[in-house]
């Protein structure tokens, strides 16, 4: 009976996907992928299965959930506190904790915990975990999750917990559609949190949020034979996706942990560890709980070392674009062998989600064991004040929202921080490459009044005497700097465009624009939106940013002054060599025929192609010398049917030899 029901629900999921794709192509793209007769046949099959099983999945073409915009999310207290789990990183400790009991080992998913309530077979309420005692009611959003059953066969009251998650593949797809670098999401968990807690559930629906059940709280009148496994299997029968789990004993748990840990790198659902749950319901409940943890389950962490500390303050750090990033300063702790005392909070949305305040107890970790991050705020005072004025220039600030991310910006065009970082970008290696003109040196020169415009960087000889007398400088340093400036005056147009710091225009996009406009900078700077978006890889956001930059008279004057100081060398490819036009490559792994991956990227761009960092449906080839590896990029390429080629195959394709010889 169980297998039969499970098979029917799997078929319902298949039909929902097929019919939804058919409807999308018909109504949004004006093309057909199946006949009306075939669509109706599959639709009737789905409707019959829904009637037979009593299950109706979210997204089913047989029903439509209306979109709704709320002014705020209502709050609601949980019946009992939702506790965190005790944790260990020791497999032997897991085995000792389990003892002679049978357990269920599953992924510890990294998303947002949700409590669902069903009555009379209908989804009636969905509430976030919140602070464990009070959550936010997101029922309307849960109705548009990709896989939540809206109707189930069971007619009693059902309460269950699960994790709302956004898969890595969907995270990359959504980020690829955002062309403003500052607006991209930092990780799937932050994107999921913002998606689940939307006031407009149409946005939630577009994010493809999935729900995976991990705990049945109440289902009166159902005999589960005192087994958590039976609860999981029953939830599957009701149409829920249940977190992947495995039965374990003291003797088998080490092998199961090893299997999970080997698969975590390629697992599409974000996970930050494992959960071990006692199968015996009555025994687990009899153990009770501590003030902080339930005793019937424990978490296993294999990646990140967490440390508890206290937040001292939020430092606000301006950038060249005017973006002011919040940075958490906390009491120093040892993490992964080093002492850390600060971590970027990225934007206001994340800061508000963490409810940060001075003196709060926080846990910190190193993402990928490298970048310090705040994992959790244990006290959530939320007392941090967003500054009304820029900490560098004192100019007014404003909060801007892109997609659903709120960020703080300095509105003063003459902000010193903007100037220093803008000049530093222009002098950087991929732009004019002025060796010796570091950010620290620029700060001193700007502060001394030597540099006001881009053109001033090429007239430092007017301040020779003052520079030579500066601490840390001398005649030799001055001579080296002047020579570096002289060399930098002979450059290429893509380097200049990249150095201007136009939002979203990196070196690769600068090269694409130059090729599309045949190196005609005047045509480029006066191009309208239609002409810009016609260029492959330049979407509406980038086009608007480009036009906005050149609409400002101050920017036009800066650029005109700079161009008078430069000799622009032409980069036109020899006739017949733009053989990779329209092709998009992703490079991963080590290279053998080129000095490094950047050299290979430059060769791709020289031949008219484009190199990006993520494998998407737009990717033409993935270059990986280990074509048979199980890396995440190889796996994604195989899923999308994208050819995986070696470096040698790339050279054969282009008739090149590489630069290693």
Whole-number Å distance between alpha carbons of 639 and 257: 26
Whole-number Å distance between alpha carbons of 530 and 554: 24
Q: Own/partner pairs for 355-359, CB < 8 Å, 24+ apart? A: 355/380, 355/381, 355/382, 356/311, 356/314, 356/328, 356/381, 356/382, 356/384, 357/311, 357/381, 357/382, 357/383, 357/384, 358/311, 358/312, 358/313, 358/314, 358/383, 358/384, 359/310, 359/311
Nearest to 284 by CA among 292, 275, 294, 272: 294
Question: Which one is catalytic: 108, 418, 419, 421?
Answer: 108
Nearest to 611 by CA among 584, 572, 579: 584
Helix (H) or strand (E) holding 315: strand 307-318
Burial class (CB in 10 A: 0-12, 13-18, 19+), 386: middle
| Phi/psi of residue 292, nearest 5 degrees | -115, -30
Whole-number Å distance between alpha carbons of 349 and 351: 5
| 292 has catalytic annotation | no
Report the helix count and the strand count for the chain, using DSSP H and E: 24, 26
| Strand stretches in 345-404, DSSP E | 361-367, 371-377, 397-402
Q: HEC string of 34-54? A: CCHHHHHHHHHHHHHHHHHHC
**Rounded to an integer, what is the distance from CA 644 to the centroid of its chain?**
24
Q: Which two tokens stand for residue 22?
A: 């058919």
Whole-number Å distance between alpha carbons of 242 and 163: 10
Provide CB contacts within 8 A for 242, sequence distance 6+: 212, 213, 214, 232, 235, 236
Q: How far is CA 191 from CA 188, 408, 521, 616, 634, in A?
A: 5, 19, 38, 18, 24
CB atoms within 10 A of CB 278: 22
Residue-wise DSSP of 66-123: PP-B-SSPPEEE-SS--PPPPEE--HHHHHHHHTTS-EEEEEEE-SEEEEEEEETTEE
Catalytic residues: 108
């Amino acid at each position: 009976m169980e297998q039969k029901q499970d098979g029917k629900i799997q078929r319902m999921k298949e039909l929902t996907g097929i019919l939804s794709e058919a409807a999308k192509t018909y109504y949004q793209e004006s093309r057909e992928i199946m006949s009306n007769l075939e669509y109706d046949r599959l639709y009737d099959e789905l409707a019959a299965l829904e009637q037979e099983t009593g299950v109706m999945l979210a997204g089913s073409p047989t029903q439509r959930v209306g979109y709704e915009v709320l002014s705020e999310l209502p709050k609601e207290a949980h019946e009992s506190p939702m506790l965190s789990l005790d944790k260990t990183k020791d497999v032997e400790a897991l085995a000792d904790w389990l003892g002679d009991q049978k357990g269920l080992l599953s992924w510890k998913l990294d998303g947002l915990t949700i409590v669902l309530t069903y009555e009379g077979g209908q989804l009636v309420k969905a509430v976030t975990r919140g602070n464990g005692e009070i959550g936010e009611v997101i029922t309307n959003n849960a109705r548009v999750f990709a896989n939540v059953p809206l109707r189930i066969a069971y007619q009693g009251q059902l309460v269950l917990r699960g994790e709302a998650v956004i898969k890595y593949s969907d995270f990359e797809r959504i980020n690829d559609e955002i062309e403003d670098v500052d607006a991209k999401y930092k990780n799937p968990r932050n994107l999921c949190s913002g998606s689940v807690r939307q006031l407009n559930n149409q946005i939630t629906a577009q994010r493809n949020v999935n729900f995976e059940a991990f705990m049945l709280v109440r289902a009166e009148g159902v005999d589960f034979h005192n087994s958590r496994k039976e609860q999981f299997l029953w939830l599957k029968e009701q149409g829920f996706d249940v977190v992947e789990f495995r039965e374990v004993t003291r003797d088998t748990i080490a092998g199961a942990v090893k299997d999970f840990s080997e698969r975590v790198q390629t697992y599409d659902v974000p996970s930050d560890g494992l959960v071990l749950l006692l199968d015996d319901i009555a025994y687990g409940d009899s153990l009770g709980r501590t003030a902080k943890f339930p005793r019937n389950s424990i978490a296993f962490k294999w990646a990140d070392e967490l440390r508890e500390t206290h937040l001292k303050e939020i430092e606000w750090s301006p950038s060249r674009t005017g973006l002011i990033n919040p940075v958490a300063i906390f009491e120093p702790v040892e993490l992964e062998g080093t002492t850390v005392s600060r971590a970027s909070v990225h934007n206001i949305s994340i800061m508000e989600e963490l409810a940060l305040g001075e003196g709060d107890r926080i846990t910190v970790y190193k993402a990928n064991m490298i970048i310090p991050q705040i994992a959790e705020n244990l006290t959530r005072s939320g007392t941090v004040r967003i500054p009304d004025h820029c900490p560098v220039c004192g100019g007014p600030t404003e909060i801007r929202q892109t997609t659903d991310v709120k960020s703080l910006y300095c509105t003063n065009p003459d902000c010193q921080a903007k100037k220093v970082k803008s000049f530093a970008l222009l002098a950087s290696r991929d732009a004019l490459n002025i060796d010796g003109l570091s950010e620290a040196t620029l700060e001193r020169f700007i502060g001394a009044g030597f540099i006001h415009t881009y053109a001033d960087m090429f007239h430092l000889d007017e301040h020779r005497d003052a520079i030579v007398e500066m601490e840390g400088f001398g005649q030799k340093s001055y001579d080296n700097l002047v020579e570096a400036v002289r060399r930098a005056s002979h450059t290429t147009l893509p380097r200049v465009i990249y150095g201007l710091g136009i939002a979203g225009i990196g070196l690769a996009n600068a090269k694409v624009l130059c090729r599309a406009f045949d190196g005609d900078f005047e045509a480029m700077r006066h191009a309208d939106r239609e002409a810009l978006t016609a260029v492959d890889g330049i979407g509406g956001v980038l086009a608007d940013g480009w036009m906005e930059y050149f609409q400002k008279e101050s920017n036009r004057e800066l650029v005109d002054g700079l161009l008078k100081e430069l000799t622009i060398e032409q980069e036109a490819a020899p006739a017949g060599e733009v053989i990779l036009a329209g092709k998009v490559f992703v490079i991963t792994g080590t290279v053998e025929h080129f000095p490094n991956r950047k050299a290979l990227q430059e060769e791709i761009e020289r031949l008219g192609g484009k190199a990006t960092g993520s494998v998407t449906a737009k990717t033409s080839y993935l270059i990986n010398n280990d074509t048979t590896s199980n890396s995440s990029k190889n796996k994604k390429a195989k899923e999308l049917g994208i050819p995986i080629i070696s470096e040698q195959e790339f050279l054969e394709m282009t008739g090149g030899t590489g630069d290693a010889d």
